[in-house]
A and B are shown apart, each in its own frame.
Chain A
């Protein structure tokens, strides 16, 4: 067990980054949802309500700050888990992948907190849980892409390279001829698949090497894609950094 307590505030900070980096989108989104309600037989009525979406987004986004204080950490993390869980099945937010990673991050944060209260968690075990989480995260992404449109790059070409206004793709359009741009999309797609394959095997890696690679992969994919991914990677990234710190600390 590590001599130093785990820096669980990192997990809270990661979750706050997820919530706050969504804010410009979510605040505007909540107003649109209020003004244009949609009745849909698929979702239960309470999961179509504007006030439920508001509470699930705004309560953890504000009161969650209290979890930076050690005494309120468990309550704050539970609030994030509840908010992410509701938003993940709410008609207005179910499609936001940020809440998939936020849900897992807050639950793993709660688990780490609980183990700390009961005498501490060996850093290797905290790392193993984090590696499993990041591994499954990328395994799901990888397997869903094992289809011709991703293998030949046409999906990424249509989604990003053709006209999306994010920096890497704007640069690619200004530097490359149309034919080369299409080839670049193929290389990009296969590179993403390669990185996801490597990250999917993370549970098999030694802890430090695996977590270091996960940090690199999470940051790299965000830089090479779009800034909105920050809200998706902030949670897993915070867990990786926490575990790397714990592995470096002297043990007792």
Chain B
């Protein structure tokens, strides 16, 4: 517990010595630590954090506030990229479709450069199915990327939309 005593001494020193950066860091770290401890017991928080990996956690400002939270290798995440819509993937057993396990931030299969290189080449429509599980909670989402000749004449960027929205 010597460590804890030092931590309390640091907090007291930060409060009395006009050290707003130190105090802010302590409060922020304590806040993120408290969120982590609450995660297994607060289903709404679990849903929000899983939705974060699917880029479905709104508002953006709240999503951004949670980005410094240590989310590495959180949850069980699978992704599936398909050139055609797959219909009701939620009902299909996991092994019946070629889901790929991914460590975190599932939507990166379309947003990160490796994902863009592997999945958004050429033209056409691609579907990204994301499946995330934490304990007894399961979250599914589908994003659609319409790739419209990004390198050609009059190039237009690919558009990323939820699968149930019009292009």
Chain A residues within 8 Å of B, Cβ to Cβ = 25, 28-33, 35-44, 88-89, 91-97, 100, 103-104, 107-108, 110-111, 114-115, 118, 124-125, 127-129, 131-133, 135-150, 154-155, 158-159, 202-207, 210, 232
Give A150 to B75 CA distance when docked, in angstroms.
Answer: 8
Is chain B's interface secondary structure helix, strand, loop, or mixed overall? mixed
Interface residues in B1-37 by Cβ distance below 8 A to A read 1-4, 6-7, 9-10, 13, 17, 19, 21-22, 25-26, 29-30, 32-33, 36-37
Report chain B residues within 8 Å CB of A125.
Answer: 6, 9-10, 13
Give A30 to B110 CA distance when docked, in angstroms.
Answer: 15
A-B CB proximity, top 9 nearest: A144-B74, A140-B70, A29-B113, A158-B101, A95-B105, A37-B157, A149-B76, A32-B113, A95-B108
Give A57 to B25 CA distance when docked, in angstroms.
Answer: 24
- For chain B, which range describes its interface: under 10, 10 to 19, 20 to 34, or 35 or more residues? 35 or more
Is chain A's interface secondary structure helix, strand, loop, or mixed overall? helix
Q: Of A38, A93, A114, A154, which one neighbours B110 at CB under 8 angstroms?
A: A38
Interface centre among B6, B101, B133, B134 (most CB of A within 10 A): B6
Residue of A nearest to B105 (CB): A95
Assess the A159–B102 pair: CB atoms within 8 A.
yes
Q: Of A31, A103, A127, A144, which one neighbours B39 at CB under 8 angstroms?
A: A144
Report chain A residues within 8 Å CB of B161.
Answer: 41
Q: Given A155-B101, A159-B101 in contact, is the A150-B71 Cβ separation under 8 Å?
A: no
Q: Given A28-B113, A36-B120 in contact, is the A140-B29 Cβ separation under 8 Å?
A: no
Q: Of B6, B22, B56, B75, which one neighbours A115 at CB under 8 angstroms?
A: B22
Assess the B4–A140 pair: CB atoms within 8 A.
no
